[in-house]
Amino acid sequence: MPDWVGPVADYMAHEGLKNTARIAVFAVLGSTVVGILLGTLMTIRFLPLQGLIRLYIEVFRGLPILVTIFLVYYALPTAPVIHHRFGVITGAVIGLALWGSAQVAEATRGAVQSIPREQHEAASALGFGWLGRHRSVILPQALRRLLPPLVSLLANVIQNTTIASLIGVPEVLATAQRSIERLQFEPGAESHQFAIYVAVMAVFFCISFPLTRLAIFLERRLV
Partner 1 sequence: MKRITIVFAALLLAAAAFSAWGAAAPGGKLATAAVPAAKPKPAKPKLPALPSQVKSRKRWEIGVKCDFPPFGFIDVRGNNDGYDVRVARRFAELAFGSKKKVNLTCVTTPSRIPTLMSNRVDIIISTLTWTAARAEQVQYSIPYYSATGRLLVPNNSSLRIASLSGKTVATTRGALYATWIRNCFKDTKLLEVDSPALAVAAVKDGRADTFMFDDTFLLGVATQDRDVRLTPDKFLTVPYGIGIRKGDTATTRWVNAALRYMKKRDEFVKILRANAPARIVPSFLDNVPRPKNTFAYPVGKDLTTICS
Partner 2 sequence: MVEGGRTDAAALNPHSMPLVASFDWQFIWDHLPDFWEGLKATLKVAAIGIAGSLAIGIILGAARAHRIPVLSWLAAIYVEVIRNTPILVQIFFVAGALPHFPGHPIRLEPFTIAWLSVMIWGGAFNTENFRAGFEAVPYRYREAGLALGLSRFKTFLNVTLPIGGRIALPSSINTYISVLKNTSLLTAIGFAELTNVAYSLESVSFKATEIYFALAVIYLLVVWSLSALIRFVESRLALPEST
Contact positions vs partner 2 (CB under 8 A) = 58-59, 62-68, 70-71, 74-75, 77-80, 83, 155, 159-163, 165-166, 173, 177, 191, 193-194, 197-198, 200-201, 204-205, 208-209, 212
Can you tell me the distance from the alpha carbon of 107 to that of 65, in angstroms, rounded to the nearest whole number? 18
Pick one of partner 2, partner 1, none as the site partner of residue 113 (Cβ within 5 to 8 A by kind): none
Q: Are 12 and 175 in contact (CB under 8 A)?
A: yes
Q: Which candidate, 203, 194, 135, 162, places its Cα nearest to that of 69?
A: 162
Q: Which candidate, 210, 201, 188, 124, places its Cα nearest to that of 159?
A: 201
Q: Where in 124-183 is the site for partner 1 (CB under 8 A)? A: 131-132, 134-135, 166-168, 170, 175, 177-182
Q: Are 102 and 60 in contact (CB under 8 A)?
A: yes
Q: Residue 185, interface with partner 1 (CB under 8 A)?
A: yes
**CB under 8 A: which stretch of 48-56, 108-116, 153-161, 186-194 binds partner 1?**
186-194
Q: Residue 61, interface with partner 1 (CB under 8 A)?
A: no
Measured CA distances, 22 to 11, 14, 52, 99, 197 (Å): 16, 12, 30, 17, 22
**Residues forming the site for partner 1 (CB under 8 A):** 7, 10-11, 14-15, 18-19, 22-23, 25-26, 29-30, 33-34, 37, 74, 77-78, 85-90, 93-94, 131-132, 134-135, 166-168, 170, 175, 177-182, 184-189
